[in-house]
């Protein structure tokens, strides 16, 4: 068995004692909940009677929320607008005991807001308010200084790249070099359009669409998956690539090893929003708790099962992970994990 009951207990009980730096696109998620009873007379679209508005942490801030929920300390670094959205974002961060001290206010941009209109637990439409231009040299230097200041004593860095201009090539290279010099584990949740820029990282976590696009081959078969996973591993000189595959689970590729395929254990799938954030956060927290790569991937898979069972972005605690892993072990689910081609 790739993860024993004893190891699951050891890893989940050890989570919560590390600092993790999260660098990336910090966003505010806005949810408008309502009911649909009629179609608009102005256009063939539903009229949503809004009954509730909620604001949640999004993007890199949601990764930080996941790290905090697991018990580790997130150090959130990024550039935001000097605006009302940042005021709301800062309040949400404070409510979850996440510091905003490492965020840089950039007067040339606005804080990204993703507004989702929900009716009957389904998303009707999404509207985005954002800027996507790259950071100026001045702001980039301020951001890198925050990373450098926070890097002492951290267990890992997570780069959460949503393609909003926060992760410039020069910033990515500087942060990667810093992590390599200090021996810090570095994980990337990638943007497919700049995939080849993520060189020499410890882990990269694309979904199967992103991985196929980046490599230039759509993943349809097991052989496609193997070619893409191993090809990207070599091209990027990465230590590991975890390809998330929706209903087909996850596949972990490591340098010099056979791939490991982990089936999905999700019992219900309501909303995949933020699932990638949960995957990378739980994987990194498990690594910080001395899990190996395969063990961390199994833990991340369990975390993803919790995330997709909730509407909107969701987090998972180490105790929830422990219970889910124990359930999977007891039910024999982990016996379906394969360390060779399926």
User: pLDDT, tens digit, for every residue of 138-147?
Assistant: 999 999 999 9
Distance in angstroms (rounded) separating the CA atoms of residues 314 and 316: 7
Which run of H or E residues covers position 198?
none
**Per-residue model confidence (pLDDT) at position 314:** 67
Looking up tokens 């016996």 gives 335
Roughly how many angstroms between the first and final C-alpha of the chain, as a whole number? 16
Residue 342 lies in a domain: no
Tokens standing for 33? 């909940």
E-assigned strand segments in 199-239: 203-204
Phi, psi of 143 (to 5 degrees): -65, -45
Cα 54 → chain centroid: 21
pLDDT digit string, tens, across residues 195-223: 999 999 999 999 999 999 999 999 999 99
228: left (phi over 0), alpha (psi -120 to 50) or beta: alpha
How far is 306 from 132, CA to CA, in rounded Å? Answer: 31
The CATH number linked to 188 is 3.40.1190.20
Interacting residues of 295 by C-beta distance below 8 A, sequence separation 6+? 2, 3, 7, 11, 286
Q: Which two tokens stand for residue 78?
A: 């990024």
Q: Is residue 238 part of a domain?
A: yes
pLDDT at res. 248: 85
Q: Which domain range does residue 330 map to?
A: 5-40+47-336
pLDDT value of position 111:
98
Separation between Cα atoms, residue 305 and residue 184, nearest integer Å: 28
Quote the tokens at residue 90: 């800062």
Determine the number of helices (DSSP H) and then strands (DSSP E) in the chain.
10, 13
* β pairing state of 156-160 and 122-129: unpaired
Q: Which of 84, 277, 290, 335 is catalytic?
A: 277
* Nearest 10 degrees: Cα torsion 70, 181, 242, 290: -50
**What is the pLDDT at residue 268?**
53
- Cα–Cα distance for residue pair 124/50, rounded to 1 Å: 12
Whether 341 is covered by a domain: the verdict is no
CA gap 198, 329 in Å, rounded: 35
Whether the full predicted model's pTM is greater than 0.85, yes or no, is yes
pLDDT of residue 340: 44
Is 335 in the active site?
A: no
Kindly state the tokens that stand for 195. Answer: 């995939």
Please give the C-alpha separations between residue 253 and each of 129, 224, 240, 246, 308, in angstroms, as whole numbers: 36, 13, 6, 17, 23
Pairing assessment for the beta strands 26-39 and 46-59 based on DSSP bridges? antiparallel
In the chain (342 residues long), the average pLDDT of successive 10-residue segments reads 90 97 97 96 96 96 96 98 97 97 97 96 94 96 98 96 95 98 97 90 95 94 96 96 90 94 68 73 98 96 73 76 89 71 36
- Structure tokens that stand for 305 in this block: 């099962």
Which residue from 319, 339, 315, 236 is spatially nearest to 11, judged by alpha carbons?
319
Q: Considering the domain boundaries, does residue 23 fall inside one?
A: yes
Task: Tell me which residue has tokens 């490599």.
Answer: 215
Count of structural domains within the chain = 1
pLDDT at residue number 342: 36
Instruction: Give tens-digit pLDDT for 179-188.
Output: 999 999 999 9
């Amino acid at each position: 068995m790739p993860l024993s009951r004893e190891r699951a207990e050891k890893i989940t009980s050890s989570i919560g004692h590390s600092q993790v730096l999260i660098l990336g696109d910090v966003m505010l998620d806005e949810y408008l909940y309502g009911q649909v009873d009629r179609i608009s007379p102005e256009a063939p679209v539903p009229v949503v009677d809004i009954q509730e508005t909620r604001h949640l942490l999004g993007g890199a801030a949601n990764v930080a929320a996941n790290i905090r929920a697991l018990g580790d300390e997130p150090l959130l670094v990024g550039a935001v607008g000097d605006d009302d959205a940042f005021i709301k974002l800062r309040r949400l961060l404070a409510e979850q005991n996440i510091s905003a001290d490492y965020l840089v206010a950039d007067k040339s941009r606005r804080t990204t807001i993703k507004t989702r209109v929900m009716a009957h637990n389904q998303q009707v439409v999404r509207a985005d308010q954002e800027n996507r231009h790259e950071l100026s040299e001045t702001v980039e230097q301020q951001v890198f200084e925050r990373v450098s200041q926070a890097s002492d004593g951290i267990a890992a860095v997570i780069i959460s790249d949503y393609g909003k201009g926060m992760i410039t090539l020069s910033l990515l290279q500087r942060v990667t070099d810093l992590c390599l010099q200090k021996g810090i584990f570095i994980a990337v949740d990638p943007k497919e359009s700049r995939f080849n820029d993520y060189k020499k990282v410890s882990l990269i976590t694309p979904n199967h669409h992103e991985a196929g696009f980046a490599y230039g081959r759509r993943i349809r078969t097991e052989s496609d998956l193997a070619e893409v996973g191993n090809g990207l591993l070599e091209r990027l000189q990465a230590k590991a690539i975890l390809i998330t595959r929706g209903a087909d689970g996850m596949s972990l590729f490591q340098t010099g090893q056979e791939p490991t395929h982990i089936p999905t254990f999700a019992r219900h799938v309501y909303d995949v929003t933020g699932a990638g954030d949960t995957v990378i956060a739980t994987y990194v927290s498990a690594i910080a708790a001395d899990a190996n790569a395969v063990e961390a991937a199994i833990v991340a898979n369990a975390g993803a099962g919790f995330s997709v069972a909730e509407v909107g972005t969701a987090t998972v605690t180490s105790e929830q992970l422990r219970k889910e892993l124990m359930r999977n072990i007891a039910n024999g689910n982990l016996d379906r994990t394969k360390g060779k081609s399926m």
